[in-house]
Amino acid sequence: MSTERRPRLTRTDWLVAGFAALCDQGPGALGAEPLARRVGATKGSFYWHFTDVPAYNLALLELWESAAQRALATCAQTDATDATRLRATAQMIAATSTSDTPALRAEPAIRAWARDDASCAGVVTRVDEARLHQLRGLLSACDIGNGEMARILYASAIGMEELHDRDAAQNADAIGSLVDLVLALR
- Domain holding 45: CATH number? 1.10.357.10
Asked whether 8 and 45 are in contact (CB, 8 A), the reply is yes
CA dihedral 78, 59, 123, 17 (to 10 degrees): 80
Decide if 37 contacts 26 (C-beta within 8 A): no
Is the confidence at residue 164, as pLDDT, over 80? Answer: no
Predicted structure pTM score: 0.91
Digit-coded pLDDT (tens) for 38-71: 999 999 999 999 999 999 999 999 999 999 999 9
Is residue 6 included in any domain, yes or no?
A: no
**Separation of alpha carbons 64 and 22, rounded Å:** 12
- Is 2 part of a structural domain of the chain? no
Q: What is the pLDDT of residues 110-156, one digit of tens each?
A: 999 999 999 999 999 999 999 999 999 999 999 999 989 999 999 99
State pLDDT tens for residues 69-94. Answer: 999 999 999 888 999 999 999 999 99
Domain assignment of residue 87, yes or no: yes
> What residues have CB less than 8 Å from 133, skipping those under 6 apart?
none
Taking the C-alpha atoms of residue 33 and residue 80, their distance in angstroms, rounded to an integer, is 48
Classify residue 3: in a domain, yes or no.
no
Q: Computed from CA positions of residues 75, 77, 82, 84, in that sequence, does the dihedral angle turn out positive or negative? A: negative
The confidence band for 5, taking pLDDT boundaries of 50, 70 and 90, is: low
For residue 161, CA distances in Å to 40, 92, 146, 157 come to 31, 11, 25, 7
Within a domain: 4: no
State the Cα–Cα distance between residues 100 and 77, nearest whole angstrom: 20
Number of domains in the chain: 1
Is residue 43 a part of any domain in this protein? yes
- Residues 175/153, Cβ–Cβ less than 8 Å: yes
Half-sphere CA count of 143, side-chain side, radius 13 A? 5
Q: What is the pLDDT of residue 144?
A: 96
Q: Which domain holds residue 31?
A: 11-183
C-alpha to C-alpha distance for 139 and 152, rounded to whole angstroms: 12
Treating both helix axes as pointing N-terminal to C-terminal, what angle do 82-94 and 118-141 enclose, rounded to 10 degrees? 150
The fraction of the chain above a pLDDT of 70, given in percent, is 95
pLDDT value, residue 93: 94
Do the domain assignments include residue 128?
yes
Q: Is the pLDDT of residue 4 over 70?
A: no
Domain-located, residue 1? no
